Structure 1
Amino acid sequence: MEMATSFLYPAPPSILLNCMSVVGLAALAKIGWSETRGNHLKYSKFASSSSSPQKQERFGSISSRTGMLWLYTPAFLAASASFFVLPSDDLRFLLLKSALALHFFKRVFEVMFIHKYSGGMAIDSTFVISSSYFSSTALMLYSQNFTLGLTEPSFDMKFIGIVMFVVGIIGNLYHHCLLAKLRKEDGKKEYKIPKGGLFDIIICPHYLFEILVFWSFFLISQTIYSFSFAMATTFYLVGRSYATRSWYLSKFDDFPKHIKALIPFVF
């Protein structure tokens, strides 16, 4: 317990935050496990993949570009609004607001100008992911607000977090650009084995760098909630990357077996 307090601010006096730290972690871990079992959130290459076709038809779908905008825009607006709703001259709080706003601005920018899409996105999956990003962003900021005026943790990790954020956001953007080059135009449903960058050794380097981004949020903020959500995101993207590698193995006979899912040479 003493070691934890060296890295973390104390638990906030909020039943909501403390409950959501547990519930959010459990929920995303369950979804990540479901991904490995073939029950996917229906977007990207898994948009038409479902263990329950009737469920997909009942909720319907929207275009992938519109769906992706729904995923990231509410979280971007929440992070942007925090500069006015939760004004503070605290450096750690300012860094967290800026990192969250920049991350989700980048995602909206990619949706508008970089990614190429085909097919649709299930509305239920859109709602689940958008709600998760929006609520986690709002709760990270709300949790940080409780730290104002408290004694800093013994180990200050916010500057390490800044470095990790820069590495994560650049690495994620670079590999998203490589993925975009695989498809010549919107609406054309074609898949190829990605190449270049870390794609030569793992099939989901964009997920690896996204995990770094969410852990950078924790290092900048050092709150229990941000730790919980970073852990939850890791569990989900581990499951999603496992499912992605399995998909490539099933679709391409020439998929190189040495290419791992998420962690070079390991997993």
Structure 2
Amino acid sequence: MYSLGIFALSSFPLDTIDFYVAVLLISCFVLMGFGNVLNVPLMGRSQGFMTTRSSRRIKQVRLEMGRLIPSLDLPSRLGMFFLYFPSVLLGLHFLSENSTSPNPHLTSLLILIHFGKRSLECLFLHRYSGNMPLTSSLTISVAYTGFSWMTIYYSSKISPSSMPLSNGIDDVLSTMFLAWGSFYLRWDSAGIYTIITAFVVFVNQVPSGGLFHLIAAPHYLFEFISWLGVALCTQHVYSLVLFFGMCAYLIERAKAQDEWNSEKLKEKYPSPRKRIIPFVW
């Protein structure tokens, strides 16, 4: 994975300082993601490098923040919609701006498609119950919006003449296809796989439809394929680092999902089913 990151970086225009920063960030992302996959104790785990004293201090800070910030909840559908919709508005904003290069507009279109699809799924496809903490919704929303803004911003720093991989059009079309392919998977499963937890617990059945007969988390597979399309279109080192970070995070989440399914469904869950990459892992 590390070697793949270095090889990919060589195809993206960047300054020397960007190269070293990117290598550092990719290394951190890979260590965080694959450390969980390999059950390597990382910072933040109780059996890891964090001392008991520092762990108590973090808990104390969280309690203090809880006293300062009121515990407000949103309906889950509204909270999830709020995660993605600001990025939709951001994509629309940058699409409406004039630019000497087509690259920011192409990247804005990808951001708009990606988060627009998520927003529509929240409104019309997913099934929700309960509430979501307002602080969680705000934190994740700010993170997604920040990622989107930086992706579009850095895409404007790359001139079309310096883009070695493609002109971006093929990447847009491919990502649009993959995005709506992901939407089909969700619809094909009657929206149930987006709430696999409720499906497994209350229906006690193995998730099926789409690619579920091959992997435990097809939604995560299409997620990082979509971010690969964004990286290929943008062709800036920031987008590449973001893609590797998403890969590390989603691989860890797929592992957790597979283990959770196996624990809840026991012998019903098919052991040959992979986690996120069909026939591989």
Q: TM-score, normalised by structure 1?
A: 0.76
Partner of 2:274: 260
CA distance in 2, matches of 1:174, 1:265: 21
Task: Please list every run of 5 or more consecutive structure 2 residues that lacks an aligned counterpart in the other structure.
Answer: 1-5, 43-57
Shift of 1:236: 0.8
Secondary structure of 1:200's partner? coil
Of 80, 88, 93, the residue aligned with 2:92 is: 80
Matches within 5 A, 1:30-41: 30=32
Whether the aligned pair in 1 keeps the contact of 2:251 and 2:276 (CA below 8 Å) is yes
Partner of 2:224: 211
CA distance in 1, matches of 2:123, 2:245: 27
**Are positions 1:226 and 2:239 aligned together?**
yes
Matches within 5 A, 1:162-201: 162-182=172-192, 190-191=202-203, 192-201=205-214
Task: Please list every run of 5 or more consecutive structure 1 residues that lacks an aligned counterpart in the other structure.
Answer: 40-51
CA distance in 2, matches of 1:29, 1:210: 20
Partner of 1:99: 110
Partner of 2:171: 161
Secondary structure of 1:87's partner? coil
CA distance in 1, matches of 2:104, 2:79: 30
Which stretch shifts more, 169-178 or 97-106? 169-178
Q: Give the letter aligned to residue 156 of structure 1.
A: S
Whether the aligned pair in 1 keeps the contact of 2:26 and 2:244 (CA below 8 Å) is no
Shift of 1:259: 1.1
Whether the aligned pair in 1 keeps the contact of 2:221 and 2:276 (CA below 8 Å) is yes
Whether the aligned pair in 2 keeps the contact of 1:64 and 1:117 (CA below 8 Å) is yes
Partner of 2:142: 131
1:28–1:72 distance in 2 versus 1, CA, 3 Å: farther
CA distance in 1, matches of 2:227, 2:174: 9
Identity over aligned pairs, percent: 24
Shift of 1:249: 0.5
Q: TM-score, normalised by structure 2?
A: 0.73
Greater RCO (CA < 8 Å, at least 6 residues apart): 1
1:33–1:160 distance in 2 versus 1, CA, 3 Å: farther
Shift of 1:242: 0.7
Shift of 1:237: 0.7
Shift of 1:202: 0.5
CA distance in 1, matches of 2:273, 2:264: 15
Q: Give the letter aligned to residue 212 of structure 1.
A: I
Q: Give the letter aligned to residue 266 of structure 1.
A: V
CA RMSD in angstroms, aligned pairs only:
3.9
* Larger-gyration structure (1/2): 2
Post-superposition Cα deviations, 1:186-206, rounded to whole Å, max 9, x if no partner, equal: x99835422122110101111
Whether the aligned pair in 2 keeps the contact of 1:11 and 1:224 (CA below 8 Å) is no
1:228–1:203 distance in 2 versus 1, CA, 3 Å: same
Secondary structure of 2:117's partner? helix
1:23–1:87 distance in 2 versus 1, CA, 3 Å: farther
CA distance in 2, matches of 1:168, 1:90: 25
Of 66, 79, 87, the residue aligned with 2:78 is: 66
Post-superposition Cα deviations, 1:53-102, rounded to whole Å, max 9, x if no partner, equal: 9969x585433212211210121111111124x52152332211111112
Partner of 1:10: 14
Shift of 1:33: 5.1
Whether the aligned pair in 2 keeps the contact of 1:22 and 1:228 (CA below 8 Å) is no
1:265–1:122 distance in 2 versus 1, CA, 3 Å: farther
